[in-house]
Amino acid sequence: MSEETKALESMIGEEYKYGFTTDVEYEEFPKGINEDIIRELSARKEEPEWMLEFRLKSYRAWREMEEPDWFNATYKKPDFENLLYYSAPKKKPKLDSMDEVDPKIRETYEKLGIPLEEQKMLSGVAVDAVFDSVSVFTSFKEKLAEAGVIFCSISEAIREYPELVKKYIGSVVPARDNFYAALNSAVFSDGSFCFIPKNTKCPMELSTYFRINNMESGQFERTLIVAEEGASVSYLEGCTAPMYDENQLHAAVVELVALDDADIKYSTIQNWYSGDEEGKGGIYNFVTKRGICKGKNSKISWTQLETGSAVTLKYPSVILQGDNSIGEFYSVAVTTKKQQADTGTKMIHLGKNTRSTIISKGISAGQSNNSYRGEVKVGKNAKGAKNYSVCDSMLIGQECGAHTFPYISSENASSSVEHEATTSRVGEEQIFYLMQRGISEQDAISMIINGFVKDVLKELPLEFAVEANKLLDVKLEGSVG
């Protein structure tokens, strides 16, 4: 290995800064999953009967499903009987006020750079903080309520806005959709709910910060975002977890619904613990994310910066049902050490003149494996549908892998589907070129990577672009003096 590659590898192997554990008292259910656990979970959350039914039906469906294994990844399958399905920090009865949040948990979020006090937060960003199985705090609720926007934990939404939740939950990702979606539908413990009423532009960025703390708990969160006619919202999720030798399972379901002329922008900065050099530990990130452009002229845009997790399997997708609707997917997936990522998107064109754009950038280093898997499907009624896809992969070093699996099918002759793919290696020539101009090796590498991902990062909301850059820097810079 050359000096450059070694330097690069060591930069990329930068230590995980969010790997600490918070010592809190938990209330937990016994390990394992069965109908009693689900009933207990539903009762604990004071859920209505229909919710319990939804869970039980999902559970029964899941029992009959096979765990999928078509991914380009190998890992030890989770032991579902050895997981905690509910693990919540012991709490006081109500958590609406800051004072009721356990100071240790507050401290945890401070350390993660997410202060929960509203006056300390980024102005214009409301945060829902999810700690293991439950939402511990949601900020700016009152301010959002003034605009008619509902932003709260999904548990609260089920209690307070049952009709809304009932109408939309499972409407985009049905419980039987896939193995992990079924499991989530049975045992989801918390997550975020956003509802933007007609002709309302959400006055601030909404964000949820997910933290897995407990070593033995799975995290099954459920997020539902509904934008009514003419509404628009920008939402961001961030994720971190402590370093443990064992793998933890994170199996979320996210559903987005955009009615006529609505616009939903969903951004993810995922930095779960990725395991150590030997591939020990780290999060299994098995997530189902899907949006439906239900109404005409609606738009759903997914932007993701995926840097963490031992294994990532996720394909944020858009069903383009309304005529003239738009789906977008912008992704940067960085894998280092022994991480494995199989990620991409699905764009399902059903309506006329629907358009989709896919920009995927994969960066693989170490002995990692990074696959793009994407599907573009044009239905027979999707007259004039257009898709444009670009999948670029960058390899750092000799031991990593990058793969592209595009699936394209069209039943309509008037549609156009364009796919471009490139694979490049961060070349010594590029680094030498910049160094010859006087730029240090570290800055040269950072420049090359930043140039590579620029088209995607510029899609992130401004408030988070800085955070994303910092994260990339932590991940890709630092140790060369």
Partner 1 sequence: MLEIKNLHAKVEGEDIEILKGVNLKVNAGEIHAIMGPNGSGKSTLSKVVSGHPEYEVTDGEILFEGEDITEMDADERAHLGLFLAFQYPVEVPGITNKTLLREAYNTIARANDREELDPLEFEDYLVSKLDVIEMKDEFLNRSINTGFSGGEKKKNEIFQMAVLDPKLSFLDETDSGLDIDALKIVSDGVNKIANDEKAIVLITHYQRLLNYIKPDFVHVMMNGKIIKSGDIALAEELEANGYDQLQKELMLNGEAQ
Instruction: Give 169 or 460: the residue with its C-beta nearer to partner 1.
Output: 460
Residue 365 contacts residue 12 (beta carbons within 8 Å): yes
What residues from 379 to 398 belong to the interface with partner 1 (CB under 8 A)?
none
- Please identify, using beta-carbon distances, which residue of 113 and 427 lies nearer to partner 1: 427
Q: How far is CA 340 from CA 104, 217, 322, 331, 364, in A?
A: 33, 21, 35, 16, 9
Which residues are registered as beta bridge partners of 406? 374
Is the four-CA dihedral 385, 405, 258, 53 of positive or negative sign?
A: positive
Contact between 423 and partner 1 per CB under 8 A = no
Out of 171, 412, 430, 469, the only residue in the binding site for partner 1 (CB under 8 A) is 430
73 versus 435: smaller Cβ distance to partner 1: 435
Spatial distance between the Cα atoms of 53 and 323, rounded to a whole number of angstroms: 35
Q: Which helix (H) or strand (E) holds 104?
A: helix 103-111
Nearer to partner 1 (CB atom), residue 3 or residue 420: 3
Angle between helices 3-12 and 428-436 (to 10 degrees): 90
Q: Does 432 bind partner 1 (CB under 8 A)?
A: yes
Minimum CB distance to partner 1 smaller for 5 or for 369? 5
Give yes or no for residue 441 binding partner 1 (CB under 8 A). Answer: yes
Q: Contact, 154 vs 187, CB < 8 A?
A: no
Of the residues 225, 341, 448, 476, which one makes contact with partner 1 according to CB under 8 A:
448
Range in contact with partner 1 (rule: CB under 8 A) among 94-102, 208-216, 335-343, 430-438:
430-438
By beta-carbon proximity to partner 1, the closer residue of 50 and 433 is 433
The residues that bridge with 320 in the sheet, in sequence order, are: 293, 349
Inter-residue contact 367 to 400 (CB < 8 Å): yes
Q: Is 258 helix (H, G, I), strand (E, B) or coil?
A: strand
477 binds partner 1 (CB under 8 A): no
Q: d(Cα 399, Cα 6) in Å, to the nearest integer?
A: 12
As a whole number of Å, the end-to-end CA separation of the chain is 19
Contact, 144 vs 97, CB < 8 A?
Answer: no
H helices of 249-352, where?
A: none
Task: Give the shortest CB-437-to-partner 1 separation in angstroms.
Answer: 4
Per-residue contact flags (x/-) with partner 1 for residues 2 to 21, judged by CB under 8 A? xxx-----------------
Question: E strand or H helix at 7, and its extent?
Answer: helix 3-12
Smallest gap from residue 471 Cβ to partner 1 (A): 18
Torsion of CA 348, 208, 124, 155, to 10 degrees: 100
Of the candidates 118, 450, 465, 478, which one interacts with partner 1 according to CB under 8 A? Answer: 450
Provide the β-strand partners of residue 35: none
Among 67, 79, 420, 429, binds partner 1 (CB under 8 A): 429
The encoded tokens of residue 68 equal: 């999928």
- C-beta closer to partner 1: residue 103 or 438: 438
Judged by CB under 8 A, the residue of 428, 463, 473, 477 near partner 1 is 428
> Are 340 and 310 in contact, with CB atoms under 8 Å apart?
yes
Q: How far is the CB of 450 from partner 1 (least distance, A)?
A: 7
Residues between 90 and 129 that touch partner 1 (CB under 8 A) = none
State the binding string over 452-471 for partner 1 (x if CB under 8 A, else -): xxxx----------------
Q: How far apart are CA 349 and CA 381, in angstroms?
A: 9
Nearest distance in Å: CB 452, partner 1: 6
User: Is the CB of 4 or the CB of 132 nearer to partner 1?
Assistant: 4
Which one of 380, 433, 470, 479 is in contact with partner 1 (CB under 8 A)?
433
CB proximity list for 433: less than 8 A, separation 6 or greater: none
Please, which residue, 9 or 260, has the CB nearer to partner 1?
Answer: 9
**Which two tokens mark 98?**
């800051």
For residues 279 and 7, give the distance between their C-alpha atoms in angstroms, rounded to a whole number: 21
Minimal distance in Å, beta carbon 436 to partner 1?
5
Using CA atoms, how far apart are residues 451 and 449, in angstroms rounded to an integer?
Answer: 5
Q: What track of x and - describes contact with partner 1 for positions 256 through 295 (by CB under 8 A)?
A: ----------------------------------------
Specify the residue, 210 or 452, whose C-beta has the smaller distance to partner 1: 452
Give least dist CB 255 to partner 1, A: 33
CA 135 to chain centre: 17
In whole angstroms, how close is the CB of 392 to partner 1 at the nearest point? 9
Q: Which is nearer to partner 1, 319 or 426 (CB)?
A: 426
Q: Which residues, in sequence order, are CB contacts of 231 under 8 Å at separation 6+?
A: 196, 197, 198, 199, 200, 201, 202, 259, 262, 263
Applying CB under 8 A, the site for partner 1 has a residue count of 26
Cβ-based neighbour number of residue 252 at 10 Å: 23
For residue 439, the minimal CB distance to partner 1 (Å) is: 6
Min separation Cβ 93 and partner 1, Å: 52
The residue from 97, 103, 436, 481 that contacts partner 1 (CB under 8 A) is 436
* 334 near partner 1 (CB under 8 A): no
Give residues in contact with partner 1 (CB under 8 A): 2-4, 427-430, 432-441, 443, 447-448, 450-455
